[in-house]
Chains A and B, each alone.
Chain A
Amino acid sequence: MATVTLVDVGKNYPGDIKAVEDFNLVIEDGEFIVLVGPSGCGKSTTLRMIAGLEDITEGEISIDDRIVNRVSPKDRDIAMVFQNYALYPHMSVRENMAFSLKLRKYPKTEIEARINDVAQMLGLTDLLHRKPRALSGGQRQRVAVGRAIVRQPSVFLFDEPLSNLDAKLRVQMRVELSQLHNEINTTMIYVTHDQVEAMTMGDRIVVMNEGLIQQVADPITLYDRPVNKFVASFIGTPPMNFFDGHILAQNSSIAFLSEDGMQLQIAEQQTKKFRQLDKQKVVLGIRPEHIGSAIAENSETVGRISAVVDVVEPMGAETYVYLKSETTSFVSRVDSHKKYMVGEKIELAVAMDRAHFFDVNTDKAIL
């Protein structure tokens, strides 16, 4: 177990391409941290820098109190699980697991004992003699995890380990990995572009975009209080709806007036900070479950918007209704038993006490 600290870490590629900039983060001992972001945001580069597979251009990476900038990957006491498994195809499952231990000259009896323990933990006992080509995708991924566990490293690194699995297996492996973390309680750094994986697995989540950390927080904070428009749109399925407009102060009440003339009363607890923003342009953000749902109907400050139903997507437990107002398209997440017809004009409740507001120029949340 170890604490991983990154201070002002940056990575530049030739041609002045900044893959990662000013990365500052302390990953606590035993923590499960998830780096999430769209493709090319620098999350994998950050993980590879921690692993020692990429040189860092600036800053400092420490594992516990040891600065590892110039320490080779094998001496960092880390283990990594790759997206494409990276199992040695000419070796059996047992040999794959034993490889690193043999290189570190562990006694044969200890190697055997560790392999048997891990194989039992991951349900691989009957597969130890098989070559990777004789395994299914899920089994291969389990072997890759087993190969990492058998080393008993201080830090586990996962580089999108589930993205090659089918949807059902992904959910199953997600649960297994969370259980594994609870069991061995070792520091885990997990990279994914899938925000569902991030939300369900991480103790804390690091949202990245264009090489920069956008927000570091636990899943619920990230969802409830995104610091900017990017985080707000990235976390949540379907993503948050945005409406351009401006603040309108009328006597004692404050309202948001959208570009297509829709007026929504701002919740009372927020009026104080918006009074000074009178006539200023802002972006209103509302999560789909806060439009047209029971939550919206029962909220303290209910706004009303009318729109035409564009597409209806029944998901079973709930239904996504895609709507169009005069200038904006948005989505609502409603009870699956409510019936909507395409082309129908409907009025929906908006939970304004759950609304988010963002600065038009900086995209930062107005808190």
Chain B
Amino acid sequence: MNNTHLTFFFFGFVFFFLYFFPFMPRGKQIALVYLRYLVLTSIAALILAPFFWLVCSAFKDPEVLMAYTFLPPVSEWSSQTLNFSNLKKLFEKEETLEGAIYFWQYIVNSFFLASTSTMVTLFFSSLGGYALAKYEFRGRSFLILFMLGTMMIPAMLLLSPLYHLIHKMNWMDTYWALIVPGACSAFGMFLFRQAFFSVPSTLVEAARIDGCGEFGIYLNIVMPLVRPITAAFCLISFLGSWNAFIAPDVFIQTQSKLTLTVALNQYVDLYDQQYGIFLAGTLLAIIPPAILFFSLEKEFVGGLTSGAIKG
């Protein structure tokens, strides 16, 4: 019987004892609450374990990286086992064929690319969604069907024709190759179209009578009312772009233009695996999306249209 078995046995025994030998009033309910917390804590532990492993590995010395699953025993904590060497190495000057490059360059590249892509996709997808939701025009239903149809095609299948197209347009090794193909996402248009349905058409008409132009209505009246969806879409789009690997790997060749994901991947190639640095870099890569998530979190909760019309 190992420690894991003993732990399970202990928690099971506590539940059994509380349930069948209640020594205080409402003992059975307490036992059930205990069980609920036990199950939820176990699931949370399962979900958080890889993240904890990542944090531990980022701060472990490369020499002891494989020696312990998580952290070494407290008795063995020292600057030889736990230190910042991975992070230091990560930010050291890296000599490449194109000259010296620092790791923060990749962070800047990824940040620029993810932010720009998000803004561009947000703009075009919301405009498309607005047109599909609020304007009557011939072929609208077909367009929506066609648009949804394109979502059924796996992105990988389109990589080869996209490569051909990008090459023909002389966009290889430029960020255009990563921004333009995703500038108008079918998913985004569909998402915004559904969101715009909830905006009463009378608001659009009232703004039209008030003297607002069509773009002004979109920008000043309609977009502020779908802030929760906009926030969610920004997060999804930013994460997609930040975590993108295949497209940047295929279309970007110059070392100084690489994104974080592609640059990190270079630390674990066929001949040289520097897992410590790789994991320290991965830990850093998680921080910007996490900040974005927590800053946008409040936007997801609650709608803004309450009070606009008779409810």
Contacts and interface: CB of A to CB of B under 8 A. Distances in A.
Size bin of chain B's contact surface: 20 to 34
A84 B306 CA distance: 12
Contact of B307 (A74, A104, A131): A131
A86 interface: yes
Interface string B285-301: 00000000000000000
A74 B203 contact: no
B307 A84 contact: no
Contact of A90 (B207, B208, B212, B225): B225
A70 to B, nearest CB: 15
Size bin of chain A's contact surface: 20 to 34
Given A73-B205, A87-B309, 17 more contacts: A51-B205, A52-B209, A53-B209, A74-B208, A84-B309, A85-B310, A88-B221, A89-B225, A89-B307, A90-B225, A99-B207, A99-B212, A100-B211, A103-B212, A132-B307, A133-B306, A133-B308
B211 A104 contact: yes
Contact of A99 (B200, B210, B305, B308): B210
A11 interface: no
A82 B304 contact: no
A82 B202 contact: yes
Given A88-B308, A89-B308, A140-B307, A82 B206 contact: yes
B181 interface: no
Contacts of A84: 200, 202, 309-310
Contact of A73 (B209, B216, B307): B209
Contact of A86 (B203, B224, B225, B306): B203
Contact of A85 (B216, B224, B309): B309
A346 interface: no
A104 B216 CA distance: 13
A53 B205 contact: yes
Given A51-B209, A78-B209, A103-B211, A86 B221 contact: no
B307 A133 contact: yes
A198 interface: no
Given A86-B309, A87-B307, A89-B306, A73 B202 contact: no
Interface string B191-224: 0000000001011011111111000100001001
A145 B210 CA distance: 13
A137 interface: yes
A135 B221 CA distance: 19
Contact of A137 (B203, B209, B210, B310): B310
Interface in A203-243: none
Contacts of A73: 205, 208-209
Interface string B273-289: 00000000000000000
